Amino acid sequence: TTAQLRSYTGLAASYVMEFDYSQALFWATEAEKRFNAVHYVSNHGLYGMFLPSHLDSYYGRAMNMVMLASATLGTTKNPEKANKYYDDALTFFNNIGFQKGQIILLALKAQTLSSIGKINEADDIAIKTIAIASKKRMYDFIWRIETIRGINFLKEDKFEEAEKSFRKAANVVDLVSGDLQTDSAKQRFGI
C-alpha cells in the first residue's frame, strides 16, 4: 500500500509539473482513495492499534492533496473547486509541523493559476508566497517564484516588471548558490 501511495502521488506530481492536469487528477484521486482507507483504519479505535500511523503518511497525503487541488484547478479552471483540497493539505502540513508545506502549496497554486491564464490571481499568490518564504528564510523558493512572475510579466509585455522579477530571482540565486554542492545544482540555478 505504501509503495502504491508513493507511486500514485509521484505520478500525480509529475503530471502536474508537466501541466497535464487530467492525468494528474486521475492519479491524485486514486491515491486519495487509498490514503482515505489507510487513515480510516489507522485512526479506528480497534484496528488502529494494529496499524500505527507515521508522519510520512500525513506528509504524503498532504502532498497528494496539493496535487489533487492543482489538478482540479487545472482541469476545472475554478479556484473554488480546488480550495477545499488546498485547505485540507495545509491542515495536514500544519498538523505535522512541516513549515515548507505552505510555501510548496502556494507556489504550486500560483504556477497552476498562471498555466490556466489567471495571471493576476497567480501574481497575488506569488507575492504572498515570497513574503512567507522570506520571513521563514526559505530563499530557495523565492527564485523559482520570482521566475514564474517574470515569465508572466513577459507574457503581458510588462518588460520592466519582468526584469525586476528576474533580477530578484538572480539576487537570491547569488545568495544561496554558495550552498549548492553539485555542478548540476549550480547549473540549474544558473538557468
Show pLDDT as tens, one digit a residue, over the chain (191 residues): 788 889 999 999 999 999 999 999 999 999 999 887 776 566 656 666 666 666 567 888 999 999 999 999 999 999 999 999 999 999 999 988 998 999 999 999 999 999 999 999 999 999 999 999 989 888 888 888 998 899 999 989 999 999 999 998 888 876 666 655 666 665 565 55
- Are 186 and 180 in contact by the 8 Å Cβ rule? The answer is yes
Question: What is the C-alpha separation between 131 and 13, in angstroms, rounded?
Answer: 25
* Helix/strand/coil for 93: helix
Provide the sign of the torsion angle of the four alpha carbons 12, 15, 17, 19, taken in this order: negative
Q: What is the pTM (predicted TM-score) of this model?
A: 0.83
The cell for 130 is 515570497
